[in-house]
Amino acid sequence: MKLLEGRAAVVTGSAQGIGLAVATVLAGHGASVVVSDINAEGAEKAAADLEAQGHRALAVPCDVTDERAVGALADACRDAFGTLDVMVNNAGVTRDASMPKMTLEDFRTVIDVHLQGAWLGTRAAGRLMREQRRGSIINISSISGKAGNFGQTNYSAAKAGIVGLTKAAARELARHDIRVNAIQPGPIRTAMTAAMPPRVLEQMLANIPLGRIGEPEDVANAVLFLASDLAAFITGTVIEVAGGRHM
């Protein structure tokens, strides 16, 4: 059974990693997908790969800190596919350093991409979804927004802010039958975790009750659930996809 047949989705930061897994899973369940990333070449390749698998996909490069670009991204989905049913605000960057070493520019960059980007995406999607009287917005936070990470005051602050944004937006948009939820991934097998020293990875695993690193598809499947009618009575929630870490 395809849970998103006939629907259209935008996924930011989807040229690789978790975003690409989300776009792939949504497409596999029938959604037409706009693959969006600041990396235009990566977005084009990801969309082409999805089309080669028989899915409907469109690449739209976007800097999620640019208000006009995010608005145009939402419009591009509606213009290409006739609707915007699912918005996944996933784009992100890291600029890790302890507070004495972190520059104000690096703090602002992470806040702008994660938190401002999610706000702009939520606002742009909400504008179109209000006209349709339906929609699902999913914001990708992080377990770091719950527990905090050393050297990530910028990232943890941004990811915690996404939770507040999600809950406030869910209250505003509920009367239009638009649901807004967040996901907090824990350690996921990406290029970042692959580059970790083995000792650090072992320490991380020791704190995960399920005893493994998560896969990008674990996050993507949670997005699929929240995007679908299976979650029709769920809004303003935060789902942790972290194997029990920091429960």
Q: Catalytic residue numbers?
A: 155
What is the C-alpha separation between 113 and 126, in angstroms, rounded? 19
Tokens of 19: 């975003």
Tokens of 111: 């806040």
Q: What is the largest CA-CA distance in the chain?
A: 52
Q: Tokens 């979650």 correspond to what residue?
A: 231
Dihedral over Cα of 212, 228, 37, 149: its sign: negative
Strand order in the sheet with 238-241: 57-59, 32-36, 8-12, 86-89, 135-140, 178-185, 238-241
Nearest to 188 by CA among 163, 222, 158: 222
Phi, psi of 202 (to 5 degrees): -65, -40
What is the C-alpha separation between 23 and 231, in angstroms, rounded? 18
- DSSP assigned state of 53: T
Q: What DSSP assignment string belongs to 222-246?
A: HHHHHHSGGGTT--S-EEEESTTTT
Contact 112, 155 (CB under 8 A): no
